Chain A
Amino acid sequence: MDYLTELESKTIYVIREAYSRFDRIGMLWSIGKDSTSLLWMCRKAFFGEVPFPIIHIDTSYKFKEIYEFREKYAKEWNLDLKVARNDRAIDAGMGPDKGAKLDCCNALKTQALKDFLAELQLDAILLGIRRDEHGIRSKERYFSPRDEHFKWNYEDQPPELWDQFKSSTEGHDHLRVHPILHMTELDIWRYVKKEDLPVVDLYFAKNGKRYRSIGCACCCTTVDSDADDIDKIIHEIETTDVSERSGRAQDKEDAYTMQKLRALGYM
């Protein structure tokens, strides 16, 4: 069997397990290539109609292309789109220039998600993180419990064997479910090509620059690249020696920023 089909099949299995095990679930859609691929696999898992809300955490600092893409596909794919925003912090002036990036990510992403989960009372949320993105993410489980403070107890994670996952939230606040954990950046791009998926234009090179990872406009930088179509991007990633998140500010502050962020409930 085609290895991309095998990867997709595992993802769909995990999505269906989450849906079957938990009454109230949702999916976080950052509108990047990973969560858009995950969203596509949710559509495939349920034969077109995704039976749960799709949540966008909006920091208000995203690229305009991201907002356009969101509106277009939310409509075209008939999504139950919910936008989560920490307006109080935004109105109070929280932004990337105000203090440490850690604080901004915490207020505008993690807190926004906390408020929203409390409001929707979700048991489980699907997220498009991948093991090869970051060393801390490589330690994740498919089904990962979080407490009411969103803390991740990475020193004592539940065992996962043979696609048998943690199946209850008892004693926890909610579960994070990571259906594309096993896919790499290269797998995602090959999958985007195979399934002919739309992605935000920012990934394609213009004037010798492109974004390899997208998020808030202020905290993402471009990489040098002439890859202006999917085939060229695939070729670039096959041969590059620059890591994917090299353009992401929140990874840079110190060696453990990502661990701190994740321990506090960051995606």
Chain B
Amino acid sequence: MGKRESMKIVIVGHVDHGKSTLIGRLLYDTGSLPPDRMEVIRKTCEEMGMPVEFAFVMDHLREERERGITIDTAQTFFNTPSRDYVIIDAPGHKEFMKNMITGASQAETSILVIDVDEGVQEQTKRHAYILGMLNLKKNILVMNKMDLVDYSRERFEEVRDEVTAFLKRLDITPSYIVPAVGTLGENFAKKSDKIPWYDGPTVFGALDALEKDKDISEKPLRMPVQDVYEVEGKRIIAGRIESGKLKDGEELVLLPEDIKVKITGVLEFNRERHSAEACESIGITISDDGTAKRGDLLSDPGNRPRTGKKIIATLFWMSPQAFDIGEKLTFRANTQETPCTVKEIMRRIDSSTLDVIEDNARVLKENEVGEILIECEKPVSFELFRFIPELGRFVLERGNDIVAGGIITHSL
């Protein structure tokens, strides 16, 4: 039971390319839509004078249904005989990009939906860019609405070549490319006899064949200190192990202070523990317990993270209020937090075309991407995103609002 595997997938693609229908289909074919829920949807559609709309499974807000769009990300669940799945729905409209990113940042893998009739569109590209940025490089490309092109192999190949060429620039190679029809269920639960020229897996087959990421507990130990609690005279360091593992008696280094410490206890309420591994929210006691505080990082002493004030990153700007170079912002990465300024915008990029808008820019606007140099007021401990993603990503806050997300590409 506990050993069952679960996989979180985000569904992305251009407006009206069939994301919600695809989700409805996944739920329907796995029997995950209770008849009473379907009945409520049927009734609502009837009252609105429209045919049954699969999109209403996810689009629950009245505003979404009346306008026929997805405003915010939602999550739902289904399972196949081999796995549990969490589906994350992401809005396709440009004005809801922050909601799309919120959804996608919680995913492990993705399905990119493309209407073969329409081909690659603006949001196809922008969403693909986000997938690349979030390191969601294992994905399935669903070439939807094959019925609209009479199941034409030629059209399929034409659009496929266009998409894969674009994805290649983002270093994304789809694991599977499936021609399908969401509304009719062609190539979902079973192979479509209307597409005899395709011999790959169905959408479900492709999903079950996607492999989970390698175990992060094999990487060096990184445990950000989330808080310190006094319990029965002991100072317990609370935090989540982001990578690696730890055990009783082990020596660690506390950063940025650079203090050698020894683990004197691994603690979980109501259970005896002597070790813990990546992803666990745990408590430990250490030999020198006077200095540790929120924002510190416990590390493997022989394999330390990078530490410094200057970071080179790729940043996605999400706020409608543009940002000017030199503006004071707050840098937040895991439990670390420090004031910072962006010193340089080396390149300003249009996220939907990947075209460079300008070099050495001074501003970034909503939905634009920047390759930037950040200077933090205090030194931070981090990793390059490609090595340990959990330690290589951050957000920027302006006042009290999160306005940008970034990944660390280089250090200085």
A contact set with B: CB distance below 8 Å:
1-6, 8-10, 12-13, 16-17, 19-20, 43-49, 131-132, 134-136, 138-139, 141, 154-155, 157-164, 166-168, 170-171, 182, 184, 190, 194, 234, 240-243, 246, 255-256, 259
Contacts and interface: CB of A to CB of B under 8 A. Distances in A.
Contact of B61 (A9, A16, A136, A234): A136
B120 interface: no
20 contacts: A5-B279, A9-B281, A45-B238, A47-B231, A132-B76, A135-B57, A135-B74, A136-B60, A136-B61, A138-B60, A139-B60, A141-B102, A154-B72, A158-B402, A162-B405, A164-B394, A167-B400, A184-B77, A255-B44, A259-B60
B299 interface: no
B5 A16 contact: no
B50 interface: no
A124 to B, nearest CB: 14
Contact of B231 (A46, A138, A167, A194): A46
Given A1-B217, A136-B60, 13 more contacts: A3-B5, A19-B227, A44-B268, A47-B236, A47-B269, A135-B57, A135-B74, A154-B71, A155-B61, A157-B102, A159-B395, A162-B105, A164-B394
Chain B interface size band reads 35 or more
Q: Which 9 A-B pairs have the closest CB atoms?
A: A135-B60, A168-B400, A12-B281, A243-B34, A138-B74, A159-B98, A2-B2, A9-B281, A161-B105
Nearest to A3: B6
B279 A1 contact: yes
Interface string B269-296: 1100000011111010000000000100
B214 interface: no
Contacts, number: 158
Interface in B28-83: 31, 34-37, 40, 43-44, 47, 57-58, 60-63, 71-77
Nearest to A256: B62
Give the secondary structure class of B's interface.
Answer: mixed
B102 A160 contact: yes
Nearest to A169: B400
A8 B279 CA distance: 10
